[in-house]
Structure formats: C-alpha cells, structure tokens
Structure 1
C-alpha cells in the first residue's frame, strides 16, 4: 500500500502532536521542581530569620531586662560589652538608639539608629520579626519637633546639621527609600 500526501501529512501531524505533548509534560515536571526549590528557599529564609531572632534574644536579653527595669546606664554598659564581643551587629545599635531615646538624647539616638539601619535595613520593614518601624516613626516625630527647628535656627552648628542629616535619612528610609 502506497502512502500518498494525505497519509504523510497525517503522520507528520501525529509526530508533531507527540513531540509537543512530550515537551509539555516535561515542562510541567520541571516547573513543579522549580516551585519546590522556591518553597525550600522561602522556608530556609524563614528558618534563618527565626534563628536570628532567637540568637539576638539570647545575646541581648540581659540588656532588654535592664532597660525594662529602668537601669539605662547599666544597660548601656552591658551593651558596650556586647558590642566589643560582636562588633558590627546592627541590633546592638538599634538597642542603643532605644535606650538613648528613653534617656532623651535624641541626636545620639538618631545616630545609633542610622548606624544600625545602614548595617541591616530589615529593621525598617514592617513584615520582619525585628521591625522597629513604630519606634523609628516616634523618634522621627520627636526629632522634627526638637532638632529640626534648632538646626534651622543655628545653620553653622555641625552637630545639629549631622543630627538633621540623620533625621532626614531615617525619614527617607521610612518613606521607602534605600541607601
């Protein structure tokens, strides 16, 4: 039996359909693997965040206890000891900023918060377990009330200009800006 053009076209179409079906099935399996890897990455990131929170609570727990008791000077001393053991840890700067803000030293609190946020910007994000966004907003509001008018009245004062620059940096980060 001879095959005519019609039979050849049918065989070609059948082959094309089989190849396309094979590719679709292979691609579907590949996507499921990619989704599983993406889920694993998200889970790993979440576990890393939880481990970081637990570590920071363990390390800085004594400082938090002293701060809550109202022993702010002792808390700063303990924080200084920890910063020598763990230099460059952003959480230490954030805690120092909180303590200095409680003491009413806004310009130093601003500088400390800025140093911490430059090291780790997750303290500005709302959706992270270490978020300090509300405390930052309160600090910025207090800085606008106290530091901004003084800086405008004394434009040649370098310490006020630095405090105003730190205040503007925090406002920018709270507004969604980045470095």
Structure 2
C-alpha cells in the first residue's frame, strides 16, 4: 500500500508540476517526489550549459559531480539511446540510474537517481514512472526557461525604447542649437 501511495503522490505532483512558476521550486519539489517514490539516497538534476557540458542545477545526491562532461560515457550513452542508463554495474557516477532529459528530440539534461536506501536494485516498474517524470520535468523546465527569455527580451525592448527616446531628444537639442547658431552669429 505504501508503494502505491508513493506512486500516486508522484503522479499527482507530475499533474501539477506545469503550474509551478519558479525553476528552483520545480526542481526541489520534483526531487522530493522522486525520492519519496523511489527510496533513493539522493537525486541530482543537470542541464546543458553554454559549453555543452551538463551542469548540476539541483542535487541531494552526495558526491554528485558539479558537472558531467559532454563526452563522458554516460552523456554519450544518453544522447545515443535516449533511454535510462543502468549504472549499477558501472561505477562511473555515484548513482544507479541516469535518465535523459529530452526536449524536442535533444538531450538537454539528465537526472541521476542514487541507489535505494534498502540496497535493493530498482525493478523495471520503479524506473518507468520516474522516466516519464524526467521527460515531463524537462519540458516544464524548458517552458520556464522560455518564459525567462521572453521576460528578458521585454525588458531589453523597454530599455531600447528609452535609449531611442533619449537619442531623439539629443538630436532635437542639437538641431535647435544649430538653428540658434545660424540666427545669432558670433
């Protein structure tokens, strides 16, 4: 019954996640929901940075690296397969599972899911729901990123309008000075 309730709680969170308006809050609540469902010792979220590497954006996973290189074996595997990587037998990152965060067909991030507290490996049915959640959260994070970009563009447009207004005022003042100089010779 407890496992069923944890799955329901994760589904309920995924149902409302698109209505969370701050990136940090979305990531924190997602990690809490996945941890409660999976019994993981920790979860780490990574997003592609400007250099193409995967930078940690939120983590409760001890020893999770601050970034994962674009050519790290796990990053290559996730980009190639677009599927969950089982790392239980490969001690290359401090986790048992790595999930690709795919947006518009590209791996834009990853989520590392630590070993379970009880030490028992994840069953396939315990991987499916978090995989769905990672995909959805990836889309939600992308939406928040676009909203932030649109807000930034709106602010830039406002600043540009102010600069254009100031430039027009300076041109007007300069033109008036030219007329004054013509009418009043030295």
Q: TM-score, normalised by structure 2?
A: 0.26
More helix by share: 1
Q: TM-score, normalised by structure 1?
A: 0.27
- The structure with higher relative contact order (CA 8 Å, sep 6+) is 2
More strand by share: 2
Select the structure of larger CA radius of gyration: 1
